[in-house]
Every structure is written in structure tokens, then in C-alpha cells.
Amino acid sequence: GAGVSQSPSNKVTEKGKDVELRCDPISGHTALYWYRQRLGQGLEFLIYFQGNSAPDKSGLPSDRFSAERTGESVSTLTIQRTQQEDSAVYLCASSSRTGNSPLHFGNGTRLTVT
């Protein structure tokens, strides 16, 4: 596709359930990033991938959060045993290379935990 695609666009789940958020980056982009944006807050770094490996997982808030990337393409962010504080917009971005290349953002997945 022409841009970064995220699915679903909206997800409502009950506390304690697991959720999977998907990101399809721009074809050929080697770097992929996940951010979280809580209501009224800035962008909180979660994790980034260079190819299929994740050199920096320092932003993952807890061991309930995990992410993987396969084929240097699609990435999945999984949140286990969701909590209400996990409610946020989860943004994915990709770039052709890291460093000074601009990020191209998807429209995000709005997660609501009830």
C-alpha cells in the first residue's frame, strides 16, 4: 500500500483479555516503531525493529507487552491481560532506514479497555 496500515482502527476489550494490534509498514522500510499516545499525552516510545530484530525494547511498560516482526514486514504488538491503563492510541511508524530518515505514521489503533 501507499502508507502504513494499522488494524484494527478501534478495539474495545474487557479487562483481563489479550489483544493483538497489527502494523503493515511501507514496503521496503527496514525500520519499524511502536508508540503509545494516551489521551492528552505525548508519544511514548515502546519498541523499534531494525529488520526483524528489536535492538531497543526499553519502552515496553511491562512484561504483558510484547512485539514481533516477521519477514521484515508485518509487526504485531500483543498486550496480555489488558488493564484499564492500557487504554490509548497505539501508533506504528516505519522508515526506510534509521537515524535521520523521517517516520511515516499509520493512523493508529484506538484501544479501550473496559
| Least distance to another protein, CB of residue 87, Å | 18
Distance CA 83, CA 24 (A): 25
- Report the SS3 class of residue 86: helix
Nearer of residues 21 and 91 to another protein, judged by Cβ: 91
Residue keyed to cell 504485531: 76
Q: Which of 62, 48, 60 is nearest to 93 (CA)?
A: 48
- The strand pairing partners of 93, in sequence order, are 33, 105
Cβ distance to another protein smaller for residue 15 or 45: 45
Interface positions with another protein (CB under 8 A): 31, 33, 35, 41-43, 45, 48, 50, 55-56, 58-59, 91, 93, 98-100, 102-103, 105-108
Compute the least distance from the CB of residue 108 to another protein, in Å.
7
Minimum separation from the CB atom of position 15 to another protein (A): 27
Nearer to another protein, 62 or 107 (CB): 107
Contact present, 6 and 73 (Cβ < 8 Å): no
